[in-house]
Structure 1
Amino acid sequence: MKQPLKGFRVLSAEQYGAGPYGTMFLAQLGAEVIKIEPPKGGDTARHVGPHWLREGESLYFQSFNLNKKSLTLDLTSPEGVEILHKLVKSAHVVANNLRGDVPAKIGLDYASLKPVNPAIVCAHISAYGRDNERAKWPGYDYLMQAEAGFCSLTGEPDGPPVRFGLSMVDFMSGAQMAVGLLAALLDAQRSGEGCDVDVDLLSTAVHQTSYPAIWYMNEGDVTVRAPRGAHPSVTPSQLFKAKDGWMFVMAQTPKFWPILADRIRHSELINDPRFDTPSNRLVNRVELCSILDGIFGAHPVVHWLALLRGHMPIAPVYDLDQALDNPWLETIGMRETITHPDKPEMDVLCSPIKIDGKRLPNRAGPYLGADSNEILGAIGYDAGEVAKLRASGVV
């Protein structure tokens, strides 16, 4: 199938989540993504349990490393730097998600690599950026959720702050890095000049505060938690409990309010002066939600889905197993079974991106150093030289 990035080579000194997540999109779109890993142990993600393919090869690693190649290389050794430079000559992008002060030290920034390949794009994800006093600070997704205000906006008003159930700052940072490096790559192809592209986790997290940020910066309006995950300014748009479970109901625009009331057989609510305008519904949110609780609690979730689905925004609240076993994922092709040497049938999620209506192809993530011989051979190292490099710990 058509893969727009075929023919492009990406070298990535990456680990754990944010960087590997972003470069996986590039690999699925056809780029040759060479994952550069320390010879001893490789990417930390290979050692994250609790589920294993074999010792040192985790299922967790597969989440972020489909379609890639693995090269073991000590980037702190002179021989490792020499190999890196040989690879950079034929590469288009060098990416990393190392601590902010590290890329310049080990020569992964544009200033270091421009003499080798003036068109190289150097993409960096760090915790706090590379150009400030926090550059040396370690940092992870959960810290960003805390400092950027996510935790204070999540959970019930009378409960403790709550982080997201997933590392969404990592994933968004990886996706933003991919956008930035692709834009820079497009420019480099036209101009012959590369550059540095920087994304940091905290900036990404702060940027996601979006409209509450604009409200506060311009009006001093501090958004706070609302019960049941309710939208801060629209109601009803929140969780409701049916007879047998929870669902999210969203009369998100004014047109959905009469549709909701009509289809639940309570059209008298439409013009009730307490609820007849968006502002009145917001002012009287507690009273309205109490009425709707009584209505929704009389029947199971499936009853309300049958009445409302397709007519207005509504979704059941699934546990993770229910979400992943949802037949709709099969309908849209979001699950796929691929082959791994240790697991002949390994289920993975497909890319959310489609090209010409088709999901992008997947293959299993590589063993540590699985492609070292091939990659080194292609730049002129014979078997004996590779063996010496391996014996000395360079690869």
Structure 2
Amino acid sequence: MIPFNKPPVTGLELSYIEEAIKSNKLCGDGGFTRKVSELMESKFNAHKVLLTPSCTASLELAAILIDASENDEIIMPSYTFVSTANAFALRGAKIVFVDVDADTMNLSIDAVQRAITSKTKAIVPVHYAGISCDMDKLMALAQKNNIWVIEDAAQGVMAKYKTDYLGTIGHIGCYSFHETKNYTSGGEGGALLINDKELLQRAEIIREKGTNRSQFFRGHVDKYTWQDIGSSYLPSEIQAAYLLAQIENAENINMKRLSIWQQYYEALKPLEQAGHIKLPYIPAFSTHNAHMFFIRLNSQDIRSSLIAHCKAENILTVFHYIPLHSSPAGKKFGRLHGEDNNTTIESEKLLRLPLFYNLEKNEVESVINSILLFFKKSD
């Protein structure tokens, strides 16, 4: 069976983990955490990178950091993972879901503009498949209305909007290093990017269970104590060690994934020209990271048939999110603003193909041949 995903392995992970174990420092913010944070700050031109146990934790930390509360509304696409909404629902905020653009599956800027009210506290753009939202327009809207922008760049590590890396453009950025992402810290992991310097000190306190422990270890205070609301948002040194091996090889991983993505695109282009599928659309302002390769079929029934066909040929292809506004929790904690013109209908036709760093060339060819065979039979 060709799986949908395998966690990336570069070859250095075990030696770094062994080094971390021998250091006798396994809790958070040790030497490996410092190395990977500094490397990411340099590589992405980020003001400050704080590693976290997951992107979910990063989003929750961000929600606390902007003081999201029951009086606030948070705008985000309905087509996203539950963590994007959960983080703010946990603070009591009302989630305002908006429609996506049919081309990119990213939130519609026009829909965002119509959804803004006096209660809007933040906009949370989700860079789907590592393809950037139009951040200039979003930031202009936010500035005009005095609204926070928190980038859910879980899928966007190494991708760019124009010349800026995703996650570094909004006031706060959130990364994921889950095993399904381009880079992992051993299965779970994340990072919080602080792009507004005024947020840094409080972010460190919230991340350290509400204490000024980070300042204590830097020698800025002679003892540390409880300062604010917070939680345990530090990953272990073993996670950081695994991640360092990945970030050091980020360019190689990125190039390999882009090569696979392009191979899919070129081989399946004739199917798009024949009207059978829609291929991913990359706006001119976006430099994507090949986080995933998805196609969209002409109907949900065709998608189901193609999934079954691929499974019979030992290939795992999968669909993605169920729109949050139609879920039980989405109806309880949020509402859809405006019309659902694209979110549901496009999500029902979307299919993701296997794409991971250690995917072999012959496996890519098998996936392509299986899809081509499906449509040849249907003609």
Report the TM-score when normalising by structure 1: 0.21
Report the TM-score when normalising by structure 2: 0.22
**Larger RCO (CA within 8 A; separation ≥ 6):** 2
